[in-house]
Amino acid sequence: MAWDAQTARALYGGVKGTPIMKLYGYSHKTKGDLLELYEATISASPQQLRELAKFFEACASGIEQCGENWNHSHFLSEDERVDKNSPSLVVFNADAE
């Protein structure tokens, strides 16, 4: 499933400006099925958490500056141990066009 405006509207019930944050993800067992998550746990080092904080801040700024034209962004860690088998984190703008 691609993260595009149509997918976002389906996931967010078609309501722009939805105030409730939602979490979605894939499991290793059900890679093709997008799941709405009740809870997510991040196991990370202080350095990785700081990278995430900067990433989230950059996403928030992008959404504020570009509004619904800002679609999504993929987190890219500077940690050398991260590879293609590492989990992926995507932030999606619920108000994206």
pLDDT for the residue 5? 54
pLDDT for the residue 65? 96
Long-range pairs, 52-55, Cβ under 8 A, ≥24: 52/89, 55/89, 55/91
**Alpha carbons 14 and 86: distance in angstroms, whole number:** 31
For the chain, give the number of residues: 97
25 token code pair:
């993800």
* Angular region, 17: left φ>0, alpha ψ -120 to 50, beta rest: left
Nearest CA to 35 among 52, 19, 50, 23? 23
For residue 1, name the pLDDT band (cuts at 50, 70, 90).
Answer: very low
DSSP assignment, residue 24?
E
Q: Greater confidence, 91 or 77?
A: 91
**Residue 20 predicted with pLDDT over 80:** no
**Residue 19 predicted with pLDDT over 90:** no
Domain ranges of the chain: 5-92
pLDDT in tens, 26-82: 888 877 788 888 888 999 889 989 999 999 999 999 999 999 999 999 988 777 777
Strand 72-74 relative to strand 23-25, pairing: unpaired
Q: What predicted TM-score, i.e. pTM, was given to this entire model?
A: 0.73
90 token code pair:
């995507």
pLDDT in tens, 3-18: 555 555 555 554 555 5
In the chain, the amino acid numbered 94 is A
